[in-house]
Amino acid sequence: MERDLAADLGYSHATGSPLHRVFRWGAGTRAGGWVFSRVLRHVDDVVGRLTRGRHSAPSLLAGLAVLDVTTTGRRSGQRRTSHLIATPYDGGLALIGTNFGQATTPAWALNLEADPRAVVTYRGTTRQVTARVATPAEADEVFALAARFYPGYARYRQRIGSSRRVRVFVLEDPTG
């Protein structure tokens, strides 16, 4: 019997308050993407420490659920944890490597390409997953689903255009 990873973790996104929607819009702009790509990781670490892991910066500011994804560094071999926004998709979760619309591919995406085994944690629940590259049709579907809760993804995709390939991964329970 196949398990629903998103349901198993209790992972979902709320509509968000009007203030959350303003932050979601702002993060999707060129200026917002530039700022967030450089400072969000640091702010998120502080928020996590201050709230003892109960909240993240995106959850407080934008009302978005944040998933901790631990990959193996493709060069270092060290475990690396990234705080990411996932999209519930087809019984699993999907990750979109837009890097806030910046020109570079995020390191976590390159790490998953090198070693698809990862660990995801959400609100204290941890699961082993295997990442696979989404087909082009799946990637389009994931982007459409993600745009429902975070419109910045569509703007990031448009801004990136053909300058680089946006990696989209589907995370699945390796035990089926």
HEC readout, 24-54: HHHHHCHHHHHHHHHHHHHHHHHHHHHCCCC
Domains of the chain, residue spans: 5-172
Query: Residue 96 has what pLDDT?
Result: 95
CA–CA gap between residue 130 and residue 152 (Å, rounded)? 26
Q: In what order do the strands lie in the sheet with 86-89?
A: 79-84, 67-72, 117-122, 125-133, 168-172, 92-96, 86-89
Query: Residue 133 has what pLDDT?
Result: 96
Sign of CA dihedral 31, 32, 38, 43: positive
Longest CA–CA separation in the chain, Å? 45
Q: Which CATH architecture has domain 5-172?
A: Roll (2.30)
Residues of the chain by 3-state class (helix, strand, coil), percent to 5: 45, 25, 35
Contact 100, 83 (CB under 8 A): no
CA–CA gap between residue 157 and residue 162 (Å, rounded)? 9
Region for residue 43 given its phi and psi (left: phi exceeds 0; alpha: psi -120 to 50; beta: otherwise): alpha
Residue-by-residue pLDDT tens, the chain, 176 positions: 356 888 888 888 888 777 777 777 777 777 777 777 777 777 777 877 887 777 777 776 777 888 999 999 999 999 999 889 899 998 889 999 988 888 889 999 999 999 999 999 998 899 999 999 999 999 999 999 998 888 888 888 888 888 788 999 999 988 76
Q: Is the pTM of this model over 0.75?
A: yes
Query: Residue 2 has what pLDDT?
Result: 52
Torsion of CA 176, 112, 30, 164, to 10 degrees: -110
Contact 85, 150 (CB under 8 A): yes
